[in-house]
Structure 1
Amino acid sequence: MSSSKSIPLSYATCSIGTPDTPLPQKLTLLSQAGFTGIELAFPDLLSHASSLYNRDISPSDYGSLTSAAKDIRSLAIKNGLAILMLQPFSNFEGWPRGSSEHEDAFKRAKGWCAIMDAAGIEILQVGSTDTPLGKLSPKERLRADIVQDLRELCDILSSTSPKMRVAYENWCWSSHAQGWKEVWEIAKEVDRPNIGLCLDTFQSAGGEWADPSTASGLIGNVSLGSPGEKKLTSRFEASMAELASTVPPEKLYLLQVSDAYRPSTGPLSSEVVDGTATRGRWSHDFRPMPYDGGYLPIETVGTAVLKTGFRGWFSMEIFDGGEDGKGREGVDLKEFAWKARESMGRFIERCLKEI
């Protein structure tokens, strides 16, 4: 059996403090807590660049952002941290050909690629787009356009560095690829050596087993312990078993780890609110670290990933706004970082015992 000590641990910079928390402080705290890598969140890059140049930096000011990325690279080295990934690259694929959105998507791709090169980052996280289907390419050509966009993105990265890769992630509120199987099928069609998956305990368990818009918090509003829940859980476990036997470990680039609360204020509206679907709002505000009040079967996901043979990065990505989703106040960030490290270690040990 592998030891949890052999699995490298990362932490998303967006998951400690806020974008206003100085990035150097975040890196120091994470390093001291025992993490050896980070996911660099774009809002933290923007904040750090604005601090460096004492002015607001635009998300498209790639010259300033590239310079700031070089500074972040030095900070990471100073703290003994690898910069695993730049995230989240969203709403990229599937725009109609000739549209301004399609043109902008590739401008962003090239700009983010320059940032990655400056920071020494090898992985770009691409979330399966949540742009409404009506705004994307026509239905009859959408899949082909998505695949072609991702192929071109892979080629942009590989032309910059042979080490650069696309980590395609299923977002459980995506308009076209909500599950691991959907993004895996797309990645196989893309057929580039530098595309793989970013899997996430929340995205899988939260998409296939749970539903924050129901009273029980489960799909179909089934109750825990009921025949319906047993059927639901059996179906989810079968999906994870298929993942374990289907996806080769070299095509898994990382596993992001978080849990989810049942909202204490009651079920979330099933309607789109301010352009964001139910699970998207749930994701943004109701995701604690493991063993801190959540209810998802996240160990089932972690175990499945380990059963593939994967022993790469486990990365904590949490958005803990409390059980009411309104945010927490007075959090001691040092204690929070250490608690996260202990939580991650416990999670990995428990998953390894199931192998």
Structure 2
Amino acid sequence: MSLDYSSLLSIPISYASCSLGNPSDPPPLLDRLHAISLAGFTGIELSFPDILSFGSQHLGHDIDPKNYSELCTVAAEIKKQCQNKKLSIMMLQPFSNFEGWPEGSAGRTDAFERAHGWMAIMQACGADMLQVGSSDTPLEKLDRKKIVPDLRELADMLNEHGFRLAYENWCWSTHAPDWLDVWNIVKEVDKPNVGLCLDTFQTAGGEWADPTTESGLREDVGSDELEKRFKKSLEDLGNTIPKDKIYLLQISDAYKVPEPLNTQADESELLPRGRWSHDFRPLPYNGGYLPIVDVTKAVLMTGFRGWFSYEVFDGGPNGKGKDTDIIAYAQTARNIQERLLAESAGKNLNV
């Protein structure tokens, strides 16, 4: 079955505010917003770290991440700046390590305090969607029976304000690294304001690629079986997820790392795919090796025509950072959107 190319042309496009420029030394937020708007994007994902960094400039002092009164003041100013640039704030992100903490634990108390604070920020900045990444907290610290009830409770809290929850499989998650894992959880949560944040990197980078191997691919099965298994997974995605349960598709590729990453978590407990994600995610068609078009096509086969959002962390092929003309980079991303849609529909625009 082929895609109708004309049906893809109205897809809205967003850029994650945190992901334009050198990941280790991003330029000022207002410069990034200018570049994103100039390139023709109509929305942004607003990242919490950007609220903190812009807030320190706007208020003249560092902000405590739990000082939600000041954070809301800053978020309101960012909303104003976005309106001036004709950008909507499509989503607040990344809300992490929320679900599954044992009853009475400090982690659970912190998770729900953060949830209330982030909802206040959403009200201030005008976002109506919260991205929740599948937790990478070590499993021995979690009560897995709490995952679904926690997400149901968060959904109800969000629904009081007309907000939605976009649940994303982070490919280094300890309990839900694949799209099918989070889809099964979303089905069990069974709330009308809970859907999926799908991601080309998270899908291909978890099920097909592996930064800890010499080949850059998963080596737990043979190459033929890997391709067969991944193709079947994408077919299942395209055939089983209702289009209205996909809230957005995030777009990025991945560089093959210069040397395989250590398989163990680092000193901050971040697993190898998490470290890979932080610095080795370029735009499609710019030196990466993931089957991005295949993932995109699978998502579009569901009938989804909602937000495509570019979230890249491009530290260069060595992951150590590179100088970036952010205006040119944002325009390249805009051009890539046209090529990605065309190739997903079987066309070649030679962009």
Name the TM tier (shorter chain): over 0.9
C-alpha deviation, 1:345, in angstroms = 2.0
C-alpha deviation, 1:301, in angstroms = 0.7
Distance 1:191 1:32 in 2: 39
Consecutive unaligned residues in structure 2, runs of 5 or more: none
Q: Quick check: 1:306–1:352 contact (8 Å CA) kept in 2? A: no
Alignment partner of 1:317 out of 311, 317, 337: 311
The count of residues paired between Structure 1 and Structure 2 equals 340
1:288 aligned partner, one-letter code: P
User: What does 1:51-70 correspond to in 2, within 5 Å?
Assistant: 51-70=57-76
Distance 1:13 1:20 in 2: 10
Distance 1:190 1:221 in 2: 31
User: What does 1:235-274 correspond to in 2, within 5 Å?
Assistant: 235-264=229-258, 266-274=259-267
Alignment partner of 1:353 out of 324, 346, 349: 346
Distance 1:11 1:184 in 2: 24
Q: Quick check: 1:257–1:318 contact (8 Å CA) kept in 2? A: yes
1:187-219 Cα deviation digits (max 9, x unpaired): 111111100000000000010011111111111
1:346 aligned partner, one-letter code: R
Residue number in structure 1 paired with 2:203: 204
Distance 2:150 2:220 in 1: 37
Distance 2:35 2:242 in 1: 34
Distance 2:345 2:248 in 1: 16
Q: Quick check: 2:20–2:330 contact (8 Å CA) kept in 1? A: yes
Q: Quick check: 2:20–2:26 contact (8 Å CA) kept in 1? A: no
Consecutive unaligned residues in structure 1, runs of 5 or more: 223-227
Moved more, 63-72 or 336-345: 336-345
1:96-127 Cα deviation digits (max 9, x unpaired): 10011101100000000000011110110000
Q: Secondary structure at the match of 1:115?
A: helix
Distance 2:75 2:247 in 1: 22
Q: Quick check: 1:290–1:344 contact (8 Å CA) kept in 2? A: no
2:13 aligned partner, one-letter code: L
**Alignment partner of 1:42 is 2:35:** no
Q: Normalising to structure 2: TM-score of the pair?
A: 0.94
Distance 1:2 1:83 in 2: 27
**Alignment partner of 1:306 is 2:300:** yes
1:288-331 Cα deviation digits (max 9, x unpaired): 10000000111111000000000000000111111111111x31
C-alpha deviation, 1:340, in angstroms = 1.4
Does the C-alpha gap of structure 1 residues 220 and 20 become closer, same or farther in structure 2, counting only changes over 3 Å? closer
Does the C-alpha gap of structure 1 residues 20 and 296 become closer, same or farther in structure 2, counting only changes over 3 Å? closer
C-alpha deviation, 1:335, in angstroms = 1.1
Residue number in structure 2 paired with 1:282: 276
**Alignment partner of 1:85 is 2:96:** no
C-alpha deviation, 1:21, in angstroms = 2.2
**Identity over aligned residues, as a percent?**
55
Alignment partner of 1:297 out of 284, 291, 298: 291
1:9 aligned partner, one-letter code: I
C-alpha deviation, 1:95, in angstroms = 0.5
1:51-91 Cα deviation digits (max 9, x unpaired): 11100001111001111111111111111111111000000
C-alpha deviation, 1:353, in angstroms = 2.4
Distance 2:55 2:289 in 1: 37
Q: Quick check: 1:241–1:304 contact (8 Å CA) kept in 2? A: yes
C-alpha deviation, 1:350, in angstroms = 1.0
2:341 aligned partner, one-letter code: I
1:127-166 Cα deviation digits (max 9, x unpaired): 00000011112xxxx1x3000110111111111x22x100
1:242-285 Cα deviation digits (max 9, x unpaired): 01111100000000000011112x11111111211111101111
Residue number in structure 1 paired with 2:39: 33
Q: Quick check: 2:133–2:170 contact (8 Å CA) kept in 1? A: yes
Q: Quick check: 1:316–1:344 contact (8 Å CA) kept in 2? A: no
**Alignment partner of 1:7 is 2:1:** no
Quick one: higher RCO (CA 8 Å, sep 6+), 1 or 2?
2
Residue number in structure 1 paired with 2:132: 126
1:193 aligned partner, one-letter code: P
Distance 1:2 1:119 in 2: 34
Residue number in structure 1 paired with 2:107: 101
Distance 2:294 2:232 in 1: 10
Distance 1:292 1:302 in 2: 16
Q: Quick check: 1:7–1:314 contact (8 Å CA) kept in 2? A: yes
2:237 aligned partner, one-letter code: L
Residue number in structure 2 paired with 1:225: none
Residue number in structure 2 paired with 1:153: 154
C-alpha deviation, 1:221, in angstroms = 7.2
